[in-house]
Amino acid sequence: MCGILTIVNTGIETGSENLIAACSIIKHRGPDDEGLLTWVPGEAPVIWAGADTAASTHQHWGYEVLRPGVRFKVGFGHRRLSILDLSPAGHQPMRYDPAGLAITFNGEVYNYKEIRKELEAVGHTFVTKSDTEVILHAWAEWGAECLHRFNGMFAFVILDYKKKQLYAVRDRFGVKPLCYYKAPGSLYLASEIKQLRTAPGYSLTLDDDVARQYLGSGAVDYTEATFDKKIRYIKPGHYLQMSLDGDAHNFSIKQWYTLQPKVWSGGYEDAADKLRELLTDAVELRLRSDVPVGSCLSGGLDSSSIVCIVADLLKQKGETAGQETVTACYENARFDEWNFAKMVVEKTGSTSHRTFPSFRNLQDEAANFIWHQDEPTGSTSQFSQWCVFKASHDAGLKVMVDGQGADEQLAGYGGNDISFYSGLIRKWQFAGLLSEALAYKKENGQLPIGFLLNALRLNTGMKVPMQVADWLRPVQVASLHAVPAPDLQQNLLRQVYNAPLPALLRYEDRNSMAWSVESRTPFMDYRLLEFSLGLPERFVYRNGTRKAILRTAMKNVIPQAISDRRDKMGFVTPEEIWLKTDGRKWFEEGVAKTAAKFDGRLLDAKATIAHVQEMMEGKREFNFMPWRVLCLGIWQEQMGG
């Protein structure tokens, strides 16, 4: 896990100071080492040391420190968080001269050992134990087709200095970030948006549509667009390709991966066994590390499954040290999951670390938290995650596995019901529809009349009622999608590709890397997603129970009390209590300041303030709107607005 940077100049420019600045600002992503590279056509790339290059790297390679004023066509920057091959041999940027390739790479290719064996069988030899070198050799052997062999999370830029081509690649689901900005005379590619903002002459051009959608629904990262009209993300499963001949700055973006769910035709129990098998293998791959690996543990189904699988794998290998877990806890029992997390800790013999996020923590750290996030966040739940990774860092844990990604593929959220019932109607599965409606009543005490009526409306072309954010200007629907998806699978695909998963992956990346921690997400293994999204709807949402198949798969693996849980919490905070008690003045002042700044442009200031006041007084149902307004204001101030 690292941070990367690429600058491509239209000509041969003097700009190494720009390279240095954009690499220095992400020291948190890679405090262990720093490296840079410059290339001028007709010459071999030159690798340089930086101000933070490790002493062992200096001793091993003897690189000269990059100074301002060095001319280049292409420049690379790299900050290293050493996870695999901790030796100086794993230093980046890395060159593979026989093929004329150089790379700056962020992430992990978990199955690099298997790919390395394939390459050795056809004559390749290796000088490091890193996955970075495997990527270079794989690209030399198979070109961009090698991407289909990789199981991992990755964003990297490859310079083919013999063919004068540049490639910037992002993994299948965008677990690792890669954004770009066309500055005057230069193209910037980077891990974090803050790097792009170091470009000479940069200024924010706020995308009002993105900001308004965020304020109204909380949706962010649902397309390649950002809050800045000039900055974009490379989409998940895509790569950018650019010719480096001449001074033109033209590039194309191509899709290399398309999610194709594998339709399951077998029985339910066999599917549960297959799910457990895939998840176990995904977890085992993500334990490959040359540093200790810990686990984020909330006490929910997803993280508990991972912690228990890790414990079983360690036991099979005869490792007695056990694992370390980190849990966010709260004094208010309504938001605290420690009783469930404790069951997992006791079952697995884990060493537990606990963190207690408070309103004072939020108030003191909000500016730093938002700066690291690069863009506004949907709620203070992300701050709870921030505290978990901070505690991981304080405990000396450099790698953490986490349950992100399960809810979106296995219907873990509320809000799937209309699409679920609609799909059963569309497929004429009326017996199943009746069975599920009765099961819902058994779980919740009443029939899902509203969901069923809206499912019927969806199938008959009638309008489905949607909430409206009447305090926005112009007024708009308070959700990302104006119409529910027609069936459960389509709704889950929306969650994977549009919202909320892309935003959650951004939060996870920035929160973990802010504390120099690598986060690994077994549920994001592409094999698991292709399998889960190909399952029959009633395997996933079954007898009124969400994530039914995961509960079945984890039977006798996790504590029964956790399998029986029906409440959904995750990285939750007592945001409603903070809003109405300790944090009331802070929220009021922040909302009023932001409302005044964007009055008439994004929102109506009076209506916004009144909306928040009613929420504070309990006259309006609580949601995360006050945080979104406050957060946008803090973020815009940081941008110089």
pLDDT 10s digits, 253-292: 999 999 999 999 999 999 999 999 999 999 999 999 999 9
Amino acid letter for position 358: S
Domain ranges of the chain: 2-255, 268-410+493-563, 417-466, 575-638
DSSP secondary structure string, 97-160?
Answer: GGGTEEEEEEEEETTHHHHHHHHHHTT---SSS-HHHHHHHHHHHHGGGGGGG--EEEEEEEEE
- 3-state secondary structure (DSSP) of residue 342: helix
| Total length of the chain | 641
Nearest C-alpha neighbor of 550 from the set 512, 516, 569, 523: 523
Q: What is the pLDDT of residue 221?
A: 97
Q: pTM of this prediction? A: 0.96
CA distance 127 to 46: 19
| Tokens encoding 179 | 């954004």
Q: What is the pLDDT of residues 485-512, one digit of tens each?
A: 999 999 999 999 999 999 999 999 999 9
Among 500, 490, 468, CA closest to 418: 490
The predicted-structure confidence for 298-308, as pLDDT tens digits, reads as follows: 999 999 999 99
Check whether 569 has a pLDDT greater than 70: no
Q: Range with the lowest mean pLDDT among 112-126, 222-236, 244-258? A: 244-258
Conformational region of residue 390, where left means phi above 0, alpha means psi within -120 to 50, and beta covers everything else: alpha
Q: What angle do CA 615, 620, 623 make, to 5 degrees?
A: 65
β-strand partners of 259: none
Amino acid at 370: I
What local confidence, expressed as pLDDT, does residue 570 receive? Answer: 58
DSSP tag of 360: H
Residue range 132-138: average pLDDT? 98
Secondary structure of 401-424 in the HEC alphabet?
Answer: ECCCCHHHHHCCCCCCHHHHHHHH
**CA triple 587-592-595, angle to 5 deg:** 120
266: left (phi over 0), alpha (psi -120 to 50) or beta: beta
CA separation (Å) from 332 to 337, 338, 357, 573?
10, 11, 11, 10
Other Cβ atoms less than 10 A from the Cβ of 564: the count is 10
520 CB neighbour count, 10 Å cutoff: 31
Q: In the beta sheet, which residues pair with residue 3?
A: 79
Report whether 492 contacts 500 (CB < 8 A): no
What CATH topology corresponds to 2-255? Glutamine Phosphoribosylpyrophosphate, subunit 1, domain 1 (3.60.20)
- Which of the four pLDDT bands, split at 50, 70 and 90, describes residue 591? very high
Per-residue pLDDT at 48: 98
> Predicted confidence band at 1 (pLDDT cuts at 50, 70, 90)?
low
When comparing pLDDT for 625 and 468, which is higher? 625
Q: Whose structure tokens read 């220095």?
A: 24
Least trusted range by pLDDT, from 20-24, 263-267, 637-641? 637-641
Tell me the CATH number of domain 268-410+493-563, given options 3.40.50.620, 3.40.605.10, 3.40.50.80, 3.40.50.720: 3.40.50.620
Mean pLDDT of the chain: 95
What is the spatial distance between Cα 93 and Cα 637, in angstroms, rounded to a whole number? 34
Q: Which helix (H) or strand (E) holds 175?
A: none
pLDDT band at 641 (very low <50, low <70, confident <90, very high): low
159, 39 contact by CB (below 8 A): yes
Question: Averaged over 213-224, what is the pLDDT?
Answer: 95
Predicted local distance difference test score (pLDDT) of residue 568? 64
Biggest CA-to-CA distance, the chain? 74
pLDDT in tens, 307-358: 999 999 999 988 867 899 999 999 888 889 999 999 999 999 999 999 999 9
Q: Which of 121, 126, 118, 173 is nearest to 146 (CA)?
A: 118
HSE-up of residue 156 (Cα within 13 Å, Cβ side):
29
pLDDT in tens, 137-195: 999 999 999 999 999 999 999 999 999 999 999 999 999 999 999 998 999 999 999 99
Output b/e per residue, 347-374; b: 16+ Cβ within 10 A.
bbebebbbbebebebbeebbeebbebbb
Which position has the higher pLDDT, 624 or 247? 624
Q: How far apart are CA 510 and CA 627, in angstroms?
A: 19
DSSP-derived letter for residue 77 is E
pLDDT at 464 over 90: no
User: Which strands, in side-by-side order, build the sheet including 324-328?
Assistant: 351-355, 324-328, 293-296, 399-401, 518-520
- Is 593's pLDDT higher than 80? yes
H or E segment and range at residue 82:
none
Q: Kindly tell me if the per-residue pLDDT of 465 is higher than 90.
A: no
